[in-house]
Chains A and B, each alone.
Chain A
């Protein structure tokens, strides 16, 4: 019988902090300007310059540490990580290799080993060739990004699959976004994720040789990359081979993994305590403030929504996006009689779909405010219009910004409340559709759908679905 393997995955996540200025100098952090516009002698590493830590970055870092339920270090220190590359102007990166600002945390089911502060590298562009330095005509460096404050979050190897990494990554992203300390935009690189992956026989507690999967710009790609790497390692081991320690790149367009460098090519970073910086010693006030400033985080918010009866899926969708959660709570606030479950389904279901359908409108710019949507849901809940008519009204609301009552009146979509009128339409529908009517009578209940559709068409969706069903069954002798 063949051995079953399980994957062991740990993550290293880089979060660019959205401070106004860089980590160790006063240059503004802003994107889209001309290359090397936001630079100074300090971030260009001129001779004689010294770093001075950005106090706001330290504050943001402590908030991240607190949100990840970490122990915040009373003393943390900086080190130099030495390597030559044009995007690294000092030829060392200032980081926290020995005493990070936060340790021993947890988010959801994943333990956090530690989180540390460091500075980002500049951006290199290699012209000609394949976009890599080898074979290129020239290499250009843009130092605008160089020196951006980064928090690197390192997890314990607690993850087991690509899907789990994607889900947990989304929770982490939502959590940090909620703090307001980073844009956490993976495509723009303000959130970057590396994964360390190994496999082992199920039941084993030892760790296999790991590979590192570098820097993918979406959690979907990470999921695919990890699954591809798990499959590759499993195949290697199953064939009697050994996994080699190396750094890999996943190409999402081909689904292939490429080796970037092997263990032998790994750098010796010659770490050294950074003599230009004194330790960070946060005051008790700073530590208290970091904890006190925490907003309700996504995991807690999702739990609260579920307790209120919202479905798990809708609760997660709402919690991971602060603006959607705020919108949802606005709907509830507008009409206290609405059931959270129903409101959540409208917000994450029909409303979100309609925004997507109409040019992928962003929520922030929508003409339909929480009060407007609450009014619409109220009409449906009170059976003043049918659910189907509600969707028609919503379409118009999203398009024009008209209010629900006006659209209902304008289009004459009030539900047919007169049973006699509806009964006539039902009888007519049975007469007009002899074939499905006969099928239903002879026991094929599913065929009733065609008749319901006919009634709905005739009433332009103004009929209550339950009532139509009841009348059809009555007249078909069921």
Chain B
């Protein structure tokens, strides 16, 4: 049994081995389920067995048949507990399955388990999970990032070959960067949101977390498409193919230096600058660009996202499902259920959003934030008139220590400084590993993410460029593969 070969194999390589008969789908599933069972990262909130992993999965689903997948606990899965890492959904078992999960099942991909996350996807460290922190496989003293922390940690730590996550303001890209894997947030509308528990509906987007760019492309090709159950979904015209580019000739990469003035760790900046040189080596051109309003993105985001969240989370009222902490009378059912069921960060955002939407404050907060969002969209439109891609570090820092930022929400929010503008603009952005760097304050070296963004629905072009750059960087994440169970 070629355990180590399976552990190091990408999703695409595993699929090829199954297709070639070198290994059976059963052997692959057993191999991964055994590792999932030994999870030391608290990466999974629910773990499948052979039977439940295959429930609803097409026996012969096509080219990715038999390659199992970890799924963020924000996706509803029929018959399988789904909590969004919240106590308020403790014991909730959905009666239906999210469109994106149905698609991976139809492609023959078993489900390894449901991964840990920040409660309702609100957080950048996974410390807001009601079911305990997920740990970073590179250094268990550190956070895996968030909100898709579990989905990133299990792929980096050898507990899944690949996974699904969601990204609202950086929730795929930032943990992918912190864990040394690839994370893609596609264009808003390219993948159905049906069955994805809503945080901020105008920003939420499903995407893959993978070992490499090719895997991200393969999963995206399965996930993308218009869904009759999501009227905001449109899909990607022409679909997605595995990328093959090796050069970046004729492509222009814009660097928004104005956004990168302060707060970036020196190690992160060093890997970023080196990557720019690699781009130039591959024939790409580097230019400075301005995104004049992107500096206001975090402020606008922390009005818009909580506003939407405050109404999205109102349905958790104890009436129909999930936690009902009191039934003395209607008001106490609402109040006690929500008091007991939501964690502090979720409550903070519900309060923020409720306030921002209150009569008399709407224009000053929500209205103004929407106008900032429009300006940011225009900034990117203008930039993409000059350049093919916008590049930044994925995060200003490498993975920080557990507890380091929990008492300072604003500093936590700033870890999404470079990812939020793309979310507000609805454009695709990918984080690929750019190497390792020592964190400020010392300690073992940790992964650094490099973010590339491109115009809406230009995922194929984004994946081609990322593929070429990935090969030039030559990052090897295998050092963490045993980090999940060691």
Q: Which of A41, A48, A52, A270 contacts B198 (CB 8 A)?
A: A48
Residue on A nearest B234 in the bound complex, by CB: A278
Residue on A nearest B89 in the bound complex, by CB: A47
B389 contacts the other chain (CB 8 A): no
Q: Which of B95, B310, B317 contacts A84 (CB 8 A)?
A: B317
- CB pair A89–B231 under 8 Å, yes or no, is no
Q: Which of A45, A47, A272 contacts B92 (CB 8 A)?
A: A47
- CB pair A278–B330 under 8 Å, yes or no, is no
Within 8 A of A (CB), among B169-209: 193-198, 200-202
Within 8 A of A (CB), among B324-340: 330, 334
Within 8 A of B (CB), among A86-109: 86, 89-92
Q: Which of B76, B311, B320, B321 contacts A82 (CB 8 A)?
A: B311
Tell me the minimal C-beta distance from B318 to chain A in angstroms.
Answer: 10
Tell me the minimal C-beta distance from B369 to chain A in angstroms.
Answer: 12
Tell me the minimal C-beta distance from B304 to chain A in angstroms.
Answer: 9
- CB pair A91–B359 under 8 Å, yes or no, is no
B84 contacts the other chain (CB 8 A): yes
Interface SS, A side: loop
| Given the contacts A49-B195, A86-B319, A92-B311, A41 and B354 also touching, CB distance less than 8 Å | no
- CB pair A86–B330 under 8 Å, yes or no, is yes
With a cutoff of 8 Å between Cβ atoms, the chain A residues found around residue B196 in the complex are 48
- CB pair B231–A276 under 8 Å, yes or no, is yes
Q: Which of B76, B230, B231 contacts A47 (CB 8 A)?
A: B76
With a cutoff of 8 Å between Cβ atoms, the chain A residues found around residue B232 in the complex are 50, 275-278
With a cutoff of 8 Å between Cβ atoms, the chain A residues found around residue B261 in the complex are none
B388 contacts the other chain (CB 8 A): no
Within 8 A of A (CB), among B65-93: 74-76, 82, 84, 89, 92
- CB pair B314–A91 under 8 Å, yes or no, is yes
- CB pair A275–B314 under 8 Å, yes or no, is no
Query: Roughly how many angstroms separate A139 CA and B232 CA in the complex, as a whole number?
Result: 36
A475 contacts the other chain (CB 8 A): no
- CB pair B366–A46 under 8 Å, yes or no, is no
Query: Roughly how many angstroms separate A255 CA and B317 CA in the complex, as a whole number?
Result: 38
A53 contacts the other chain (CB 8 A): yes
- CB pair B231–A53 under 8 Å, yes or no, is yes
With a cutoff of 8 Å between Cβ atoms, the chain B residues found around residue A89 in the complex are 315, 319-320
A44 contacts the other chain (CB 8 A): yes
Query: Roughly how many angstroms separate A133 CA and B321 CA in the complex, as a whole number?
Result: 21
Interface SS, B side: loop
A268 contacts the other chain (CB 8 A): yes
With a cutoff of 8 Å between Cβ atoms, the chain A residues found around residue B60 in the complex are none
Q: Which of A45, A50, A51 contacts B320 (CB 8 A)?
A: A45
With a cutoff of 8 Å between Cβ atoms, the chain A residues found around residue B96 in the complex are 41, 46, 49
- CB pair A48–B195 under 8 Å, yes or no, is yes
> Among the interface residues A50, A86, A91, A271, which one has the most CB atoms of the partner chain B within 10 A?
A50
- CB pair A272–B307 under 8 Å, yes or no, is yes
With a cutoff of 8 Å between Cβ atoms, the chain B residues found around residue A49 in the complex are 96, 194-195
With a cutoff of 8 Å between Cβ atoms, the chain A residues found around residue B230 in the complex are 50, 52
- CB pair A47–B311 under 8 Å, yes or no, is no
A287 contacts the other chain (CB 8 A): no
B357 contacts the other chain (CB 8 A): yes
- CB pair A275–B321 under 8 Å, yes or no, is no
With a cutoff of 8 Å between Cβ atoms, the chain A residues found around residue B330 in the complex are 86, 133, 139
Query: Roughly how many angstroms separate A45 CA and B92 CA in the complex, as a whole number?
Result: 13
| Given the contacts A52-B229, A91-B314, A46 and B319 also touching, CB distance less than 8 Å | no
- CB pair A47–B82 under 8 Å, yes or no, is yes
With a cutoff of 8 Å between Cβ atoms, the chain B residues found around residue A111 in the complex are none
Query: Roughly how many angstroms separate A311 CA and B231 CA in the complex, as a whole number?
Result: 53
With a cutoff of 8 Å between Cβ atoms, the chain A residues found around residue B84 in the complex are 47
A186 contacts the other chain (CB 8 A): no
Tell me the minimal C-beta distance from A417 to chain B in angstroms.
Answer: 75
B 116-155 binary contact with A (CB < 8 Å = 1; else 0): 0000000000000000000000000000000000000000
Query: Roughly how many angstroms separate A13 CA and B71 CA in the complex, as a whole number?
Result: 47
Query: Roughly how many angstroms separate A82 CA and B354 CA in the complex, as a whole number?
Result: 10
B61 contacts the other chain (CB 8 A): no
Q: Which of B195, B228, B308, B321 contacts A272 (CB 8 A)?
A: B308
Residue on A nearest B189 in the bound complex, by CB: A278
With a cutoff of 8 Å between Cβ atoms, the chain A residues found around residue B92 in the complex are 47
A80 contacts the other chain (CB 8 A): yes
B 379-423 binary contact with A (CB < 8 Å = 1; else 0): 000000000000000000000000000000000000000000000
| Given the contacts A48-B197, A278-B231, A91 and B366 also touching, CB distance less than 8 Å | no
Within 8 A of A (CB), among B33-49: none
> Among the interface residues B319, B358, B366, which one has the most CB atoms of the partner chain A within 10 A?
B319
With a cutoff of 8 Å between Cβ atoms, the chain B residues found around residue A41 in the complex are 94-96
- CB pair A272–B314 under 8 Å, yes or no, is no
With a cutoff of 8 Å between Cβ atoms, the chain B residues found around residue A53 in the complex are 231
Query: Roughly how many angstroms separate A157 CA and B321 CA in the complex, as a whole number?
Result: 43
With a cutoff of 8 Å between Cβ atoms, the chain B residues found around residue A243 in the complex are none
Q: Which of A46, A270, A272 contacts B94 (CB 8 A)?
A: A46
With a cutoff of 8 Å between Cβ atoms, the chain B residues found around residue A299 in the complex are none
Query: Roughly how many angstroms separate A92 CA and B84 CA in the complex, as a whole number?
Result: 21
Query: Roughly how many angstroms separate A186 CA and B319 CA in the complex, as a whole number?
Result: 29
- CB pair A270–B359 under 8 Å, yes or no, is yes
Query: Roughly how many angstroms separate A90 CA and B308 CA in the complex, as a whole number?
Result: 13
- CB pair A272–B366 under 8 Å, yes or no, is yes
Query: Roughly how many angstroms separate A52 CA and B202 CA in the complex, as a whole number?
Result: 15
Tell me the minimal C-beta distance from B79 to chain A in angstroms.
Answer: 13
A141 contacts the other chain (CB 8 A): yes
Residue on B nearest A269 in the bound complex, by CB: B359
> Among the interface residues A48, A52, A92, A133, which one has the most CB atoms of the partner chain B within 10 A?
A48
B164 contacts the other chain (CB 8 A): no
B98 contacts the other chain (CB 8 A): yes
- CB pair A272–B311 under 8 Å, yes or no, is yes
Query: Roughly how many angstroms separate A268 CA and B226 CA in the complex, as a whole number?
Result: 36
Residue on A nearest B230 in the bound complex, by CB: A50
A 265-291 binary contact with B (CB < 8 Å = 1; else 0): 000111110011110000000000000
Residue on A nearest B198 in the bound complex, by CB: A48
- CB pair B197–A275 under 8 Å, yes or no, is no
- CB pair A50–B354 under 8 Å, yes or no, is no
- CB pair A268–B358 under 8 Å, yes or no, is yes
With a cutoff of 8 Å between Cβ atoms, the chain A residues found around residue B362 in the complex are 271
With a cutoff of 8 Å between Cβ atoms, the chain B residues found around residue A52 in the complex are 228-231
> Among the interface residues A47, A80, A139, A278, which one has the most CB atoms of the partner chain B within 10 A?
A47
Residue on B nearest A45 in the bound complex, by CB: B315
B 338-363 binary contact with A (CB < 8 Å = 1; else 0): 00000000000000001001110010
Tell me the minimal C-beta distance from B101 to chain A in angstroms.
Answer: 10
> Among the interface residues A51, A52, A91, which one has the most CB atoms of the partner chain B within 10 A?
A91
Query: Roughly how many angstroms separate A270 CA and B197 CA in the complex, as a whole number?
Result: 21
21 contacting pairs across A/B (C-beta < 8 A): A46-B94, A46-B95, A47-B76, A48-B75, A48-B98, A49-B194, A49-B195, A50-B229, A52-B229, A52-B230, A80-B311, A82-B311, A84-B317, A86-B317, A92-B314, A268-B358, A268-B359, A270-B358, A275-B201, A276-B201, A278-B231
Known interface pairs A90-B314, A275-B232; 20 further A-B residue pairs with C-beta atoms within 8 A, sorted by A's residue number = A46-B94, A47-B94, A47-B197, A49-B194, A49-B195, A82-B311, A82-B314, A82-B357, A84-B314, A84-B317, A91-B311, A91-B317, A92-B311, A92-B314, A139-B330, A270-B311, A270-B358, A270-B359, A272-B357, A277-B232
Closest 6 CB pairs of A and B: A91-B314, A275-B202, A270-B357, A275-B201, A47-B197, A48-B195
